[in-house]
Amino acid sequence: MLRLPGTNPRTPGHLISAADLSRDETVLILDTAEEMARVADRPIKKLPTLRGRTVVNLFFEDSTRTRISFEAAAKRLSADVINFSAKGSSVSKGESLKDTALTLEAMGADAVVIRHGASGAPYRLATSGWIDGAVVNAGDGTHEHPTQALLDAFTLRRRLVGADAGLGHDLAGRRVTIVGDVLHSRVARSNVLLLHTLGAHVTLVAPPTLVPIGVERWPCEVSYDLDRVLPDSDAVMMLRVQRERMNAAFFPTEREYARRYGLDGDRMGRMPGHAVVMHPGPMNRGMEITAEVADSGRCTAVEQVANGVSIRMAVLYLLLGGNEPAVTHSLPRTEENTQP
Partner 1 sequence: MDTGNARSPGKTAVDAGAARPVLEAPDIARVLTRIAHEIVERAKGADDVVLLGIPTRGVFLARRLAAKLADITGRPVPVGSLDITMYRDDLRLRPARALARTDIPGDGIDGRLVVLVDDVLFSGRTIRAALDALGDIGRPRAVQLAVLVDRGHRELPIRADYVGKNLPTSLRETVKVQLAEEDGRDTVLLGLQQPTGTQQAAAAGEQ
Partner 2 sequence: MSTILIRGAKILGGEAADVLIDGETIARVGTGIEAGDATVVEAAGQVLLPGLVDLHTHLREPGREDSETVLTGTKAAAVGGFTAVHAMANTFPVADTAGVVEQVWRLGRESGYCDVQPVGAVTVGLEGKNLAELGAMHESAARVRVFSDDGKCVDDAVIMRRALEYVKAFDGVVAQHAQEPRLTEGAQMNEGVVSAELGLGGWPAVAEESIIARDVLLAAHVGSRVHICHLSTAGSVELVRWAKSKGWQVTAEVTPHHLLLTDELVRSYNPVYKVNPPLRTEADVTALREALADGTIDCVATDHAPHPHEDKDCEWAAAAMGMVGLETALSVVQETMVETGLLDWAGVADRMSFRPALIGRLESHGRPVSAGEPANLTLVDPAYRGPVDPAGFASRSRNTPYEGRELPGRVTHTFLRGRATVVDGILA
Query: How far is it, in rounded angstroms, from Cα 69 to Cα 75?
Result: 10
> What SS3 state is found at 263?
strand
Q: Which is nearer to partner 2, 49 or 96 (CB)?
A: 96
Q: Does 320 bind partner 1 (CB under 8 A)?
A: yes
Residue 321 interacting partner from partner 2, partner 1, none (CB closer than 5 to 8 Å by kind): partner 1
Select from 43, 88, 214, 273 the one that contacts partner 1 (CB under 8 A): 43
Query: What residues pair up with 236 in beta bridges, in sequence order?
Result: 177, 277
- Residue type, position 311, single letter: I
CA distance 31 to 166: 8
Residue 218 binds partner 2, judged by CB under 8 A: yes
C-alpha–C-alpha distance, residues 28 and 220, integer Å: 24
Residue 116: CB minimum distance to partner 2, A: 7
Q: Is 42 in the site for partner 1 (CB under 8 A)?
A: yes
Residue number, 34 or 181, with CB nearest to partner 1: 34
Q: Which of 19, 22, 47, 132 binds partner 1 (CB under 8 A)?
A: 47
Q: 53, 143, 174, 312: which one contacts partner 2 (CB under 8 A)?
A: 143
Using rule CB under 8 A, residue 225 touches partner 1: no
What is the C-alpha separation between 315 and 136, in angstroms, rounded?
Answer: 9
Which of 37, 121, 149, 236: binder of partner 2 (CB under 8 A)?
121
Nearer of residues 92 and 323 to partner 1, judged by Cβ: 323
* Cα–Cα distance, 102 to 127 (Å, whole number): 13
Closest by CA position to 320, among listed 112, 148, 66, 69: 112
Query: How far is the C-alpha of 163 from the C-alpha of 30, rounded, in Å?
Result: 10
Residue 239 binding target from partner 2, partner 1, none, CB below 5 to 8 Å by type: none
Does residue 174 belong to the site contacting partner 2 (CB under 8 A)?
Answer: no
The interface partner of residue 249, options being partner 2, partner 1, none and the CB cut-off 5 to 8 Å by kind, is none
Residue 11, C-beta contacts closer than 8 angstroms, at least 6 positions apart: 1, 17, 20, 123, 126, 127, 135, 330
User: Cα separation of 50 and 58, whole Å?
Assistant: 19
CA dist., res. 51 & res. 79, Å (int) = 5
Q: Does 142 bind partner 2 (CB under 8 A)?
A: yes
Out of 87, 282, 324, 337, the only residue in the binding site for partner 1 (CB under 8 A) is: 324
Check if the beta carbon of residue 84 is closer than 8 Å to that of residue 100.
Answer: yes
Phi, psi of 113 (to 5 degrees): -95, 115
Task: Please give the helix or strand (H or E) that residue 334 lies within, else none.
Answer: none
245 binds partner 2 (CB under 8 A): no
**Residue 39 CB, nearest approach to partner 2 (Å):** 34
Per-residue x/- track, 82-101, partner 2 (CB under 8 A): ----------xxxx-xx---
Q: Is 330 in the site for partner 2 (CB under 8 A)?
A: no
CB crowding 297-320: b at 16 or more within 10 Å, else e: ebbbbebbbebbbbbbbbbbbbbb
Q: Is 322 in the site for partner 1 (CB under 8 A)?
A: yes
Q: With CB cut-offs between 5 and 8 Å by kind, which of partner 2, partner 1, none does residue 22 bind? A: none
User: According to the binding rule CB under 8 A, does residue 213 interact with partner 2?
Assistant: yes
Q: Which is nearer to partner 2, 48 or 208 (CB)?
A: 208
Q: Beta 201-205 vs 80-85: how paired, if at all?
A: unpaired
Cα 160 to Cα 179: distance, rounded to the nearest angstrom: 19
Beta carbon of residue 315, minimum distance to partner 1 (angstroms, whole number): 10
Residues interacting with partner 2, by CB under 8 A? 92-95, 97-98, 116-121, 123-124, 127-128, 140-144, 186, 189, 212-218
Residues interacting with partner 1, by CB under 8 A? 2-3, 28, 31-32, 35, 38, 42-44, 46-49, 77, 317-325
